[in-house]
Amino acid sequence: MKDITINVIDESGKKHKLITPLEMGLNLMDVLRSHDLVEGACGGMALCATCHCYVESKHEISEQKDDELAMLDQLFSVDEERSRLACQIQIEESIDNITVKIASPD
Ligand code: FES
């Protein structure tokens, strides 16, 4: 089973290096939640923004769909260049070594 690495900066600025398998159909929120780094309150429906994070590295990530854009649009802490909902990012090889920073709640 192949793994990828996810680098995370939590709300306090602490760095975490997470190793996660590719073949389990997970999204980034699933991985962050399993390490108690985000709440993921809506279970990945793009409805709560408790998985809001900033993508700090230059990675090609799947485009944002309308429901993700609508949710981000309601946040004060949104950054147009870097904000994503982690639940809308699939764990796939193209994001190996990604760095994300967890956003503070609005
Ligand atoms: S888990 Fe609720 S928006 Fe991502």
The pTM score is 0.95
The parent domain of residue 31 ranges over: 3-102
Question: Does the CB atom of residue 70 touch ligand 1 within 6 A?
Answer: no
pLDDT digits (tens, 9 = 90+) for 3-40: 999 999 999 999 999 999 998 999 999 999 999 999 99
Question: Does the CB atom of residue 51 touch ligand 1 within 6 A?
Answer: yes
Residue 28's nearest CA partner among 106, 105, 102 is 102
Query: Where residue 92 sits, what CATH number does that domain have?
Result: 3.10.20.30
The average confidence (pLDDT) of the chain is: 96
pLDDT at 1: 80
Taking the C-alpha atoms of residue 40 and residue 58, their distance in angstroms, rounded to an integer, is 24
pLDDT digits (tens, 9 = 90+) for 38-50: 999 999 999 999 9
**Structural domain count of the chain:** 1
Taking the C-alpha atoms of residue 42 and residue 63, their distance in angstroms, rounded to an integer, is 20
Taking the C-alpha atoms of residue 71 and residue 58, their distance in angstroms, rounded to an integer, is 23
